[in-house]
Amino acid sequence: MNTEIDVSNVILRTNRLILRPWTTDDLDDFYEYASVDGVGQMAGWLPHENKETSLAVLQRFIAEKKTLALEFDGKVVGSPGIEEYDEKELPEFQNKRGRELGFVLSKDYWGRGLMPEAVKAVTNYLFDELDLDFIVCGHFTDNVRSKRVQEKCGFRHYKLVKTTTMDGTVKDCWLSILER
């Protein structure tokens, strides 16, 4: 079953990163990476065409209290989100506490190990502070980078599913799982 999430007062620190709630002051950093071709498509959304689009999404992040800003060297470069997992897709977990983790990282910061570092911090928080039993994480079959991040963080492939992206495209997606 999905567990309630509220990250509005959560701050996680690693050696290089701060994971914290979003603020409207983050708009320029967010738009800078969300507008780049090839970033959003890996997570199922199209590049932001203007700052108004980014502001609307940013305001949703703040209101929904389930997405963190990933800050590196004083700049927001990514966003791990703690989403509800599809309970109909995974009925075998109905008696366990869980959530789905998604993440996006600025193309300028790929290949530096930042996202595995961030994902490990978030999964530790979810297991240690919120007492979750499992975390689901998905990646499109053609998204090798997300697959590698999940493998580095201990997730194992669990189930292949069809997913409809925000632009209406249906894609194959591996659901991976990490259990306590």
Domain assignments of the chain as residue spans, ordered by start: 12-133
When comparing pLDDT for 49 and 127, which is higher?
Answer: 127
Record: fold of 12-133: Aminopeptidase (3.40.630)
Distance of CA 137 to the CA centre of its chain: 8
Mean pLDDT for the stretch of residues 105-132: 95
- Whether the pLDDT of residue 142 is over 90: the answer is no
Please state the rounded mean pLDDT for residues 140-157: 91
Beta-bridge mates of residue 174:
139, 160
Q: What percent of the chain has pLDDT over 90?
A: 73
What does DSSP assign to residue 21? E
62: left (phi over 0), alpha (psi -120 to 50) or beta: alpha
Alpha helices in the chain (DSSP H): 27-34, 51-64, 114-128, 144-152
Q: How confident is the model at residue 43 (pLDDT cuts 50, 70, 90)?
A: low
* Range among 15-24, 33-42, 168-177 rated most confident: 15-24
The two tokens of residue 163 are 């997913």
